[in-house]
Structure formats: C-alpha cells, structure tokens
A and B are shown apart, each in its own frame.
Chain A
Amino acid sequence: MDRRVTGSTAVTRGHISIDDVVKIYDAQGAAVMAVDHCSLEIEAGEICMIVGPSGCGKTTLLNAIAGFHAITSGRIEMDGETLCSSERPKATPGPDRIVVFQNGALFPWKTNLENVIFGPVMQGKLERAQAIDKGRAMMADAGLAGVELNYPGEVSSGMRRRVEIVRALMNDPKALLLDEPYRALDSLTKSVMHEALLEIYYKNKVTIFFITHDLEEAIFLGHKVVIMTTRPCRPKKVLTVDIPHPRDYGVLTSKRFRELIEETNAAVHEEALKAFQAGEKEG
C-alpha cells in the first residue's frame, strides 16, 4: 500500500489541459459570460488550487471538466484525450475525474462502507466481496476504521469528507475535483482535514483540482495556486509554491509561507473588491 511518492517519482496520468475555454450563460436572453478565454495547464499529479471570490465562475470551470455543464467554445483535454470542445461541448462524467462536492454528496441512505464501494461495484470492476475488502482496507488507511457500518449522518462532518475522498479514490481516478470541500467546516476541523488530505495524497498521488476562496488553504496545500479574476473568470496570476512536500502544519508559521501570502494577497483582495462592487451595482 505504501506508494508514498517523493517528488521525483513522476506521476504520468491526470494531466489536464484547459485551452481557451469560454462559457456564456444565456439566461433569459441576456448573455452572461462566466468564463472568459481561460487557458490553464494542470500537470499530472499536481495539486492545483483555484482561488477566487465567491461566484467568480470557478465552479463553472470545474463543472465543465466534470461533465456537468457544456462549454461555449474552447477545449479541455485530459492526457491528450478531448473531454469537451466546441464540437462536443459537454464531457461525459466518469470515474477518471471524480468530484467532491461543496456540501458533500455521500448517499445518506447507504452506510459509509456501501458508499465507498459504490463506484467499483456499479462499474462491475470488482465483485461485492472484493470491493468490501478493498473498501475496508482503504478506510482503515484513512483513519476511518470502526465507522464502516455507520451511516454518514452518524459521523462528524470532517469524517464524512474523508469517507467521500476515499469513495473517490476507490476508483483509482486520474484526478479529483474538489469544490470548496471544507467551506462548511470550523477552522479546527479544517486544519485537521488539510493534513489528512495531504496524507491521503502522499499515499495515492492523483491530480487535484481544488477550488477555494481561502488563500492560506491554497498556499498550504498547493503546488500551484491560480488566482482567478472575478466574473468573467480567467487566470489573473499563477503562483508556484516552492515549499517542498511533504508539508505539515509547521509550514503555516514559516517565513516563506508568510512571504507567499503577502505576494498574492493584493491580487486576491483586488478581485474580491471588484466582485463586491459588481454585486453592489447589480443590487
């Protein structure tokens, strides 16, 4: 199980290439541009953090990669295969790119273990018994031993998020798409979740596309931090975080971390202000 990867071991799957993507919503005839000629390369096995104010259109981008929404023009590829383009505007959702939702989407009517084995069993990749063995092992590995037979509603929200990530990893995905997964958590749980996520990541290296509005979270977790402009959404600044992995909470007090925050804070603040003013105008 120890697939701990130390920087040098190259991950070869999960390269996502976003090329000149435009998304225009046509709500009641009034075209609203959500994503504006956005281009972005996410390397295989990279943690790419997308930072932007609420409602800036970053979720639209995630939905396009996941295959929930169509794009208006442009192209998104994964490992050279086209997910969506002008010709085929909506990608097909699939177990190679799994979304972890903002409010969590564990099925409350299934036990944690049944949730975890859902993917492989539905796809017919594993027999139920095999899936249960694998699921139990992966849950134990993520510190979830003992809650297998509980329902999601019976465990803490932090634990639910971990179960959801394990459910995704059971499918051996190329990429995880996380949509502000820790937004609803209190700051204490959040910090525990960050370390838990990194621990899981070091064991199962996958590409992580992580949306947040929290700059500290972004710099703490990410290899790369992309700051988005407010609606329409486009990369404003791309920051490579040169703090080496594996990281732990000590990083938060390091000098380099503070420097990186200072370097980017202005850009984030500027966009937040724009979003606020735009909101005022509309209101």
Chain B
Amino acid sequence: MQIAENVVLGDPSVVLRETVPFTGATDALLRRVVKLGRRTRYGAGERIYTAGDASDDIHIVISGAVEHVFSPGIGAQESQKRMGRGGVFGWAGLLLGQTRRLATVTATEPTEVVRLPTEDLVKLLESEPLEGAAVMERFASMIQRDFAVPALLARVRRLSSVAPSEDMSRMSLTMHRVALWLKSPRPYLMLIGFALLLGFWYLAVEVWKLPRFKEMPGITTVVKEWLSRSPTYGLSIHTEEYYTHIAVSVWRVAQAFFLATALGVPFGLFLGWSRKFKEYVFPLFETLRPIPILAWVPLAIVMFIATESAVIYLAFLASFFATALNTMLGVESIDESYVRAADCLGANRWQVFRHVIVPGALPFIFTGLQISIGVSWFSLVAAEMVSGQYGLGYVINTSYMMVRYPTIVIGMITLGVVGYATSAMVRIAGDYMMEWRVRELALAER
C-alpha cells in the first residue's frame, strides 16, 4: 500500500517546504497554510480536473505522480509535464485575470494531493503582507520557469493588503528604478564623462598649458580655493558668504518658478482647452515669447523700483512662457477618444477638465516645468549680473571685474550643481504625481 509511506510524513508541511513557493516560509505561516488544505486521493488514470473548470484550489502532490497538459494556445513551450512529490499545479486562480483552469491534470498512479482553496490562501497571504508578497513572487517565478509559461501570463495578482499604502508602493517603485539604474551601464558612463572633462581641463591648463587656456584657472587651483579654510579671494565652502549667495539665488528662483507654475499651468490649460481664449491670447503670447530676457532688463528696472522684484520678474517671465506653452501643447496632445469616452460616461464639462484634460496634459506639463526651471536659472543669472547685490550671477560678474578667476569657476560649478538638483526635484515631483506613467515606463524597460 502506498499510504504506508506517507504516514511517516504525517505533516504535509514537510512537502510544502520543498515546493518553490513555500521555500523559506516561516513555520507559523506554513502551519496556517496546512490548516487550509484538504487531502484528497486519486486512483491511477483518474482525472483531477479539466481545462476550463473553475480554478478554485491549488494542488500540491504529496505522493504519486500526475500528468499536467496545457490546453492549446496558452503559449507554454512544453505543453506536457509530469510531476511527482512536491509538484504544484492548479495555480491559475492566482494569475491576473484568470479564473479558469489552464490545463487538464490526470493522476498517472495512485496519488495523494493537498488542495488549498485559492481565495483562502490569498486572504491568508494578505494577512501577512511581507511574507505573503514573497510567496506570490515565488509563485510567479515558478510558473514562468518550471512551466515555461510566457512572462506576460505568469503575472500573479497583487495582494490587496500590500497595495493600500500608496507611499509604500511608490517607494518600492523608486527603489526599483534606482536598482535598474545601478545595474545599467549609465551611471558608469556618466562617471567616465565627468572624468574626461575634468581630465581635459587639468591637462589643457596645467600640463600642456595651451595658449587659449593661459588665463584659465587650473582645476587644482579652483579645488584648493573652493575647499580652503582661508580662501585667497574670499569665497569657499568654509565662508558663510558662499551659502548666502546660494540661498539668495535659490530663493529667487523658487519664487519665480512657483509664480510661473501657478500662473503658467492654468493659463496653458485654458489656452489648450478653449479655442476662443486661444484666438484672443495666443498671437500676443507668441509675439512676446521670442523676446530675449535680456531685452526686458531695462523695462524691468523701470517697472520695479526694488531690484529684487525686477530680478525675480525676469526669472519668472522666461519660466512662465515655457510652462504655459508646454501645458497648452499637452492639452492639445490628448487623444480625442478620452474626451469622448468621458462624454459618453456622463461627465460634465468641468469634470472632463478635471479628470481628463488636467491629468492627460500632466506629462507635457512636467516636461515644461523641467525646461522652465532651467530657463529660470538662466535668466536669473543674467538678471543678477545686470542688477542685484547677492546671488551666484552677481558672484560671477563681480569676480570677473575684480579678476578673481577661480571664484568665477566656483560660481559656475555651484550653479551647475544647484541647477541640476532643482531640476531633479521637479522630475521626482513628476514621478510622484504620475505613478501610472512611471509604472508603464518601468514595464517597458524590463
């Protein structure tokens, strides 16, 4: 009798632990899983289930063997598979959008299986979100690897207990992206890029002493000055003044950028949304937009008595045009079907605006904001050079007049780093607001 051997096992958790999904599961979890199970015996040649049946329980072979045959069209490379002790089948109910059996399974000899009701198992795993998610992950990889099922089909359901904390999933998405980035060649290429530029700078100025670079401060001079406790020209990371300049510039850009966003996004949305509004305003907009920011400087000084507001106004102006134009293009890029679908579903004009136009334009809006923060720095520095008393543009300009060349370079590099940081912040904010897009891109990258 076959059963005699199984008496030794007694506890199906021993077999369960040998299966891919439950390797590494804690005893506590396994005990609870085993409690769900029902042991069932089948005679040789007995049909366990047929493709197309409701997929309501997962089977694990305790002893004996079964033959597992996929119904045609699943896309599995091997449609036929024999499984013995520890084999797991009947998992279709765990897959996204599957409720039916994908295969027909027959016992080839007297066989005993443990049957776990799918929904109860999912509930149990949801009650232990961390461990549960790991088990689901291992189910997915087992289905893909051991059953040669295409990756697209082998995607398991998401446990609803894992999803509710949105920050959590966003966090893990960000981590996923960081991990992908580190695995790709990009960070290393980036480092090589920096190394090449700095290396050229060093060689050109200090080793080869090329004629064109004669007046240029060398990299070692700049770095020494930058890190010096008592800088020759009065500005380094140890002087308070350095941070005052950074803070003043950042604060000005922040005001200009937020003002430009607060006005530019709604303005752009209405431009794109209302044909009449566009007809009134757009030609005027397009006439003003190409005027270089520097051309506005005299008027800005005349208009604003305080230099501070004049500087912010100039940075704002450039930002505003970039944001408004991209937002308008974003609205115009929205597929007409979305608006029609919303009409069909009974949304009124305001609801269409709020639920279709605004989110639909968001990818373009954030592209616009990235450009906008860039041009905002650009025009700020220009404005600070012309008028102003603090700020990085002011530092660069006065250092030039006072022949403090290393300080010019310190100002430039600082501008680059701070500008990059602000633009990265805009990008991160965009990722937070467009999780759907991040996920789509993450899928495409895989």
Q: Are B340 and A93 in contact (CB under 8 A)?
A: yes
Which residue of chain A has its CB nearest to the CB of B153? A156
- Could you tell me the distance between the alpha carbons of A196 and B157 in the complex, rounded to whole angstroms? 20
- Could you tell me the distance between the alpha carbons of A171 and B217 in the complex, rounded to whole angstroms? 71
Minimum distance in angstroms from A240 CB to a CB of chain B = 29
- Could you tell me the distance between the alpha carbons of A154 and B441 in the complex, rounded to whole angstroms? 10
Inside 8 A of A171's CB, which chain B residues have their CB? 345-346
B171 within 8 A of A: no
- Could you tell me the distance between the alpha carbons of A154 and B435 in the complex, rounded to whole angstroms? 12
Q: Are A105 and B335 in contact (CB under 8 A)?
A: yes
Q: Are B96 and A109 in contact (CB under 8 A)?
A: no
**Known contacts A150-B96, A156-B152: does B157 contact A105 (CB below 8 Å)?**
no
Tell me which of A66, A109, A144 contacts B344 (CB under 8 A). Answer: A66
Minimum distance in angstroms from B434 CB to a CB of chain A = 7
B10 within 8 A of A: no
Inside 8 A of B244's CB, which chain A residues have their CB? none
Return 8 A-B CB contacts under 8 Å, by A number.
A93-B343, A95-B346, A99-B340, A103-B335, A105-B341, A122-B342, A122-B345, A153-B436
- Could you tell me the distance between the alpha carbons of A66 and B340 in the complex, rounded to whole angstroms? 9
Inside 8 A of B340's CB, which chain A residues have their CB? 66, 68, 93, 99, 101, 105
Inside 8 A of A154's CB, which chain B residues have their CB? 439-440, 443
Which residue of chain A has its CB nearest to the CB of B119? A145
Q: Are B345 and A108 in contact (CB under 8 A)?
A: no
Q: Are A103 and B439 in contact (CB under 8 A)?
A: no
Inside 8 A of B348's CB, which chain A residues have their CB? 122
- A sample of 5 more A-B contacts (CB under 8 A), given A145-B99, A167-B345, is A94-B346, A107-B355, A109-B436, A146-B95, A151-B439
Q: Are B436 and A122 in contact (CB under 8 A)?
A: no
How many chain A residues touch B (Cβ–Cβ < 8 Å)? Answer: 41
Q: Are A144 and B97 in contact (CB under 8 A)?
A: yes
In A51-85, the 8 Å CB interface with B consists of 66-68
- Could you tell me the distance between the alpha carbons of A104 and B340 in the complex, rounded to whole angstroms? 11
Inside 8 A of A188's CB, which chain B residues have their CB? 73
Q: Are A122 and B344 in contact (CB under 8 A)?
A: no
User: Chain B: residues with CB nearer than 8 A to chain A?
Assistant: 73, 95-100, 152, 157-158, 160, 163, 335, 337-338, 340-348, 351, 355-356, 359-360, 362, 434-437, 439-440, 443
Inside 8 A of B335's CB, which chain A residues have their CB? 103, 105
Overall SS of chain A's interface: loop
Inside 8 A of A67's CB, which chain B residues have their CB? 343
Which residue of chain B has its CB nearest to the CB of A191? B73
Inside 8 A of B360's CB, which chain A residues have their CB? 107, 109
Tell me which of B100, B158, B345 contacts A95 (CB under 8 A). Answer: B345
Q: Are B434 and A109 in contact (CB under 8 A)?
A: yes
User: Chain A: residues with CB nearer than 8 A to chain B?
Assistant: 66-68, 93-95, 97-99, 101, 103-105, 107-111, 118-119, 122-123, 143-151, 153-156, 159, 162, 167-168, 171, 188
Inside 8 A of A155's CB, which chain B residues have their CB? 96-97
Q: Are A123 and B163 in contact (CB under 8 A)?
A: no
Which residue of chain A has its CB nearest to the CB of B163? A149
- Could you tell me the distance between the alpha carbons of A148 and B159 in the complex, rounded to whole angstroms? 11
- Could you tell me the distance between the alpha carbons of A118 and B338 in the complex, rounded to whole angstroms? 12
Tell me which of A94, A144, A149 contacts B160 (CB under 8 A). Answer: A149
- Could you tell me the distance between the alpha carbons of A188 and B356 in the complex, rounded to whole angstroms? 32
For B99, B152, B157, B436, the residue with the greatest tally of chain A CB atoms inside 10 Å of its CB is B436
Q: Are B346 and A145 in contact (CB under 8 A)?
A: no
Q: Are A122 and B351 in contact (CB under 8 A)?
A: yes
- Could you tell me the distance between the alpha carbons of A147 and B355 in the complex, rounded to whole angstroms? 21
- Could you tell me the distance between the alpha carbons of A266 and B100 in the complex, rounded to whole angstroms? 39
Inside 8 A of B362's CB, which chain A residues have their CB? 109
Q: Are A153 and B440 in contact (CB under 8 A)?
A: yes
Inside 8 A of B443's CB, which chain A residues have their CB? 153-154
Which residue of chain B has its CB nearest to the CB of A173? B344
Inside 8 A of A162's CB, which chain B residues have their CB? 97
Which residue of chain B has its CB nearest to the CB of A63? B340
Which residue of chain B has its CB nearest to the CB of A95? B346
Tell me which of B97, B341, B434, B435 contacts A159 (CB under 8 A). Answer: B97
Q: Are B96 and A146 in contact (CB under 8 A)?
A: yes
Which residue of chain B has its CB nearest to the CB of A102? B337
Which residue of chain A has its CB nearest to the CB of B443? A154
Q: Are A146 and B436 in contact (CB under 8 A)?
A: no
Q: Are A93 and B344 in contact (CB under 8 A)?
A: yes
- Could you tell me the distance between the alpha carbons of A110 and B437 in the complex, rounded to whole angstroms? 10
Inside 8 A of A111's CB, which chain B residues have their CB? 436
Inside 8 A of B160's CB, which chain A residues have their CB? 148-149
Minimum distance in angstroms from A171 CB to a CB of chain B = 7
Q: Are A119 and B346 in contact (CB under 8 A)?
A: yes
- Could you tell me the distance between the alpha carbons of A32 and B355 in the complex, rounded to whole angstroms? 36
Q: Are B157 and A98 in contact (CB under 8 A)?
A: no
Which residue of chain A has its CB nearest to the CB of B358? A109
Inside 8 A of B440's CB, which chain A residues have their CB? 108, 151, 153-154
Minimum distance in angstroms from B431 CB to a CB of chain A = 13
Which residue of chain A has its CB nearest to the CB of B354? A122
Minimum distance in angstroms from B335 CB to a CB of chain A = 7
**Known contacts A146-B97, A159-B96: does B158 contact A105 (CB below 8 Å)?**
no
- Could you tell me the distance between the alpha carbons of A234 and B100 in the complex, rounded to whole angstroms? 42
Q: Are A107 and B99 in contact (CB under 8 A)?
A: no
Minimum distance in angstroms from A238 CB to a CB of chain B = 27
Inside 8 A of A95's CB, which chain B residues have their CB? 344-346
Inside 8 A of B96's CB, which chain A residues have their CB? 146-147, 150, 155, 159
For B346, B439, B440, the residue with the greatest tally of chain A CB atoms inside 10 Å of its CB is B346
Inside 8 A of B347's CB, which chain A residues have their CB? 118, 122-123
Tell me which of B100, B359, B435 contacts A107 (CB under 8 A). Answer: B359
Inside 8 A of A168's CB, which chain B residues have their CB? 344-345
Q: Are A146 and B158 in contact (CB under 8 A)?
A: yes
- Could you tell me the distance between the alpha carbons of A67 and B98 in the complex, rounded to whole angstroms? 36
- Could you tell me the distance between the alpha carbons of A104 and B341 in the complex, rounded to whole angstroms? 9
Q: Are A99 and B341 in contact (CB under 8 A)?
A: yes
Which residue of chain A has its CB nearest to the CB of B441? A153
Inside 8 A of A147's CB, which chain B residues have their CB? 96-97, 157-158
- Could you tell me the distance between the alpha carbons of A256 and B443 in the complex, rounded to whole angstroms? 45
Which residue of chain A has its CB nearest to the CB of B338? A105
- Could you tell me the distance between the alpha carbons of A57 and B348 in the complex, rounded to whole angstroms? 29
Inside 8 A of B158's CB, which chain A residues have their CB? 146-147, 149-150
Q: Are B341 and A122 in contact (CB under 8 A)?
A: no
